[in-house]
C-alpha cells in the first residue's frame, strides 16, 4: 500500500481536529498543510505555538509510522521548536518533515513550517521512540 494511502486510512483523531491535510508521504519526506483557523489562534489572531508544535508532531509521527517494521509503534519523547514568524488567521501553513536520523530505537525528524508565501515561520526537531 502507498504510504499516503496508509496514513489516510489510519488518520489520527487529533490531526482531524486540527484540520491537517497530508499532501505527500514517503519514507524520507512527509508534507502536510493546515489552515490557521480562529480556534487555533492566540491573541492577536495568529497561530498558537502549541498548534504549530502539534502540526509538526503529527507530521513527525506520520513519517515515523511509514518507516516502522510491522507491529511496531511510536511515541514522541522529545521536541524542540523555534518560532520565527507569525501565521495569521485565515492563512495556510505547510510543513515539510525530513529525517535527521532513522535508527532501530529512535528516529529524529525536522519539520520546517512555512507560510503560503514561503516564509519560514517555525522549525521543529523531534525524537520519536520506536515501541
Query: pLDDT averaged over the chain?
Result: 96
Q: What is the pTM of this model?
A: 0.96
pLDDT digits (tens, 9 = 90+) for 58-104: 999 999 999 999 999 999 999 999 999 999 999 999 999 999 999 99
Burial 47-85 (b: 16+ CB within 10 A, else e): beeebbbbbbbbbbbbbbbbbeeeeeebebeebebeeee
Amino acid at each position: 500500500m502507498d504510504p499516503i494511502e496508509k496514513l489516510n486510512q489510519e488518520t489520527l483523531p487529533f490531526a482531524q481536529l486540527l484540520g491537517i491535510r497530508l499532501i505527500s508521504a514517503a519514507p524520507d519526506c512527509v508534507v502536510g498543510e493546515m489552515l490557521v483557523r480562529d480556534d487555533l489562534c492566540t491573541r492577536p489572531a495568529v497561530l498558537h505555538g502549541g498548534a504549530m508544535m502539534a502540526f509538526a508532531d503529527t507530521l513527525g509521527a506520520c513519517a515515523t509510522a511509514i518507516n516502522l517494521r510491522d507491529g511496531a509503534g511510536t511515541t514522541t519523547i522529545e521536541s524542540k521548536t523555534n518560532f520565527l514568524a507569525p501565521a495569521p488567521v485565515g492563512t495556510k501553513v505547510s510543513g515539510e518533515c525530513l529525517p535527521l536520523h532513522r535508527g532501530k530505537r529512535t528516529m529524529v525528524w525536522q519539520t520546517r513550517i512555512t507560510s503560503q508565501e514561503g516564509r519560514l515561520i517555525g522549525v521543529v526537531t523531534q525524537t520519536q521512540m520506536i515501541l
